[in-house]
Structure 1
Amino acid sequence: MKPTRKRLRRACVAAAAAGLLFAPAVAGSAYGAAPAAPAVPAAPSPDPDAEFVRLTPAVAAELDAAVRKVMDETGVPGVTVGLWAPGKGSYVKTFGVADKATGAPMATGLHVRIGSETKTFTVTALLRLVDRKEIGLDDPVATYITGVPNGDHITLRQLAGMRSGLFNYSGDADFIKRFEADPNALFTPRQLLDYSFKHPAQFAPGAEFDYSNTNLILLGLVIEKVTGRPLHEVIEQDVLKPAGLHRTLFPTGAEIPAPYAQGYTNQTASGKTVNSTHWDPSWAWAAGAMISDLQDLRSWARTLATGTLLTPATQAQRLKTTPIGVPGAGYGLGIFNVQGWIGHNGSLPGYETLTVYLPQARATMVILLNTDALHDGQEPSTLFGEAVTAIVSPDHVYPGHKPH
């Protein structure tokens, strides 16, 4: 399988699970039956350090060594790690370079492309429409979008929860061929759906879990249909502004605001590593096109996991997870719960991110990388997340895994 084919099938993933899903990458493929992660956090442990250790100088030194070890093993150019926990301290540190050509170091204020973390914003925009009673989670997608296979039976809830059965367009051979030929090609949402809809359904709506970027493209179109506004404007006005995020954006082209980390990928037809910073993300649109930075993602992690932009009833529905085949992990509505860490990861050519929140400790973890090159078949963001959480939250280790 060509590197790009492998990556695009997983692009914009989720669940630490697999690239989630693939993985979570969870991103792209389903896993076998495993118990769903609990939607409601467990009661706090009587041991104040059981959920999250104190970030002492000794622990910081241990984290430094663990991060450098993963960097040495994976060859990641640069990484930023941020940890914050009330009463336990904080750890914010950058490693390596943001630009291999100039040697400029990674820095905490750099923008990066966040891949599938975009899904959390798109689904939040959808759920705010639910709270305003402009749409219903159990509405069939055919109510809003014509031409969807099984559209009369696939609900918006199933799209947001990755249970539609629709083929993932980024796994289509013709899509991959076009992307490999021109990574700056402009794709429209309808073109992306065409790549998906020529394939038969993978399963009956609601029958299984399968991470598919097609689901989010449809939700983006539903949001535009209901609001009468472009998706990027809806997310900016209805999600980013209420959340107080000023350095996060949904680009309409290949732009990325300065300052930014250069992104490097080997997911090319030749397998050679190239600079993909300015590749147009239109192919990912509502599933993975957004940009952010460390501090905005720190804020978003808590907002997302605690549901401050939604009603309690809607947030409870969001956090109800479906098993993804990874022990202790489940996927909700545009969000995952992996060993108690709630949030999402992201991956697209040149970048990987992981933004999660541990309610028991009110702890936040954000990890940003400027490459998406796999290491022994694993997402590097997952490897960093596993190494860090093994130290700071040993009862809640974000797991590494071997993707399908």
Structure 2
Amino acid sequence: MRRASARRLATAVLVLSTLVPLALVAPPVQAAPPRAAVSATGTQADDCPPHGLDPALVAGLDKAIEDVRQQTGVPGVTVGLWIPGRGSYVRSFGVADKVTGAPMTPDLNMRIGSETKTFTATAVLELVDDGLVRLDDPISAYLHGVPDGDHITVRQLLEMRSGLFSYSADQGFVTALLSHPTRPFTPHQLLAYAFRHPNVFAPGTQFQYSNTNYILLGLLVEKLGRMPLAEFIRERVTRPSHLHRTPFPLGAEFPRPHAHGYTNQTPTGAIADTTHWNPSWGWAAGAMISDLSDLHRWAKGVATGALLSPATQAQRENFIPVPGFDGAGYGLGLFQTHGWIGHNGSLPGYESVTVYLPEQDATLVILLNTDILYNGNEPSTLFAKAITSLATPGHVYDLPAEG
């Protein structure tokens, strides 16, 4: 969920980076000729053997996905759709590397941007179940130095209603990141960018997506969980969920095989290869990596509260309507749109969608290797809308861009 504007780094979906001078970033490259769709046979999630959907629907999905890819200029995309009782669809289109022309395939590691928030929020809610955190306590009860922290609750941080300025909207931060996209940022450096601005509204009175909220939540997990955030998420979230290819990187490391990512978020607007940009600037708000198989498992688990008590999951599912997003709401690190529950992700070079539809026990995962907007819309949203319009016409995913 991201607002489209000139300050795109202020969005719901960005991540951290360890940076080097822009001159060291790979120069813009031209797209390789499109490849044919690649079947996912043998690379689907282990718990979901391939079973084909109705052939007419498969043909419709193939065409719709490739049409969106060609229209938006997305180099490569992988789609996984699982609907029990009807079948599954896992395919990749286009290229993972515009230089070599290597095809996109379903087994590639991808950066997942703000989908990281679902993991950070789950960690916080586990601490709630442990009795170490109370949702309606002020953040000042746990962390010092937060502007108006005596009145901003943990719940308001989770649901994007704190009023704290998003560090990723600070022009100094944007300049620092894009001029040296491999430099590292610490959580406290990120908060310093945010805290030099006044809060934008009184706590609890409005909704505004702010990455600052999740940096604070990451620090909360580290303090009360008594271990680094990456370790806590590994031990308490990804390992119990059997997610073996979903790391929280400490720097720019990127397990192979992975797709190259492409962005126009550069000082000149030229397209750059972001594969080795450091995501440390997103940290608890967007630094994680995953793949199709793991996100397939995670979608239902996070949407249904597999790691949480029923009472805490009920709190998480209190989706409050978001102005400007018809049919959508935001809960505690999750959104819902027309019945689909989950999160999207975006950072320079990559976008993703991981959502679950309880009514049909259906899961949709989309992974692509660019974040370049098309007519002001995130390409991940355009893919998701096209896919669900065909597969679940009564539940069409849609997150309209805001100007």
Contact 1:5 1:171 in 2 (8 A): no
**Deviation at 1:403?**
2.1
Aligned residue in 2 for 1:12: 13
Contact 2:162 2:204 in 1 (8 A): yes
Aligned residue in 2 for 1:299: 297
Aligned residue in 2 for 1:282: 280
TM-score, scaled to structure 2: 0.88
Distance in 1 of aligned mates of 2:179 and 2:104:
31
Distance in 2 of aligned mates of 1:309 and 1:85:
23
Aligned residue in 2 for 1:70: 68
**Deviation at 1:210?**
0.6
Contact 2:263 2:371 in 1 (8 A): yes
Change (3 A) 1:191 1:116: same
Distance in 2 of aligned mates of 1:273 and 1:9:
20
Contact 2:12 2:209 in 1 (8 A): no
Aligned residue in 2 for 1:46: none
Q: Deviations over 1:4-55 (max 9, x none)?
A: 9532122516xxxxxxxxxxxxxxxxxxxxxxxxxxxxxxxxxxxxxxxx92
Contact 1:5 1:176 in 2 (8 A): no
1:243-254 to 2 correspondences below 5 Å: 243-254=241-252
Q: Which moved more, 1:347-356 or 1:194-203?
A: 194-203
In the alignment, which of 134, 154, 157 is matched to residue 155 of structure 2?
Answer: 157
Contact 2:12 2:210 in 1 (8 A): no
Distance in 1 of aligned mates of 2:87 and 2:7:
39
Is 1:116 aligned with 2:111? no
Across the aligned residues of Structure 1 and Structure 2, the Cα RMSD in angstroms comes to 1.4
3-state SS in 1 of match to 2:355: strand
1:2-401 to 2 correspondences below 5 Å: 6-10=7-11, 12=13, 55-325=53-323, 326-401=325-400
**Deviation at 1:167?**
0.4
The residue identity in structure 1 corresponding to 2:241 is A
3-state SS in 1 of match to 2:240: helix
3-state SS in 1 of match to 2:303: helix
Distance in 2 of aligned mates of 1:180 and 1:303:
35
Q: Deviations over 1:170-213 (max 9, x none)?
A: 00011011112101121110111111111111111111111000
Contact 1:4 1:269 in 2 (8 A): no
3-state SS in 2 of match to 1:194: helix
Change (3 A) 1:184 1:74: same
Q: Deviations over 1:109-163 (max 9, x none)?
A: 1000000000000000000010011111112111121110010111110000000
Q: Which has the higher contact order (CA 8 A, sep 6+)?
A: 1
Distance in 2 of aligned mates of 1:96 and 1:263:
13
Unaligned 5+ segments in structure 1 are 14-53
Aligned length: 363
Contact 2:156 2:203 in 1 (8 A): yes
**Deviation at 1:400?**
4.9
Distance in 1 of aligned mates of 2:175 and 2:367:
29
The residue identity in structure 1 corresponding to 2:148 is N
3-state SS in 2 of match to 1:352: strand
Contact 1:165 1:201 in 2 (8 A): yes
**Deviation at 1:401?**
2.1
TM-score, scaled to structure 1: 0.88
Q: Deviations over 1:264-288 (max 9, x none)?
A: 1111111111100110011000000
Query: Percent identity at matched positions?
Result: 60
Distance in 1 of aligned mates of 2:356 and 2:212:
26
Distance in 1 of aligned mates of 2:11 and 2:88:
32
The residue identity in structure 2 corresponding to 1:333 is L
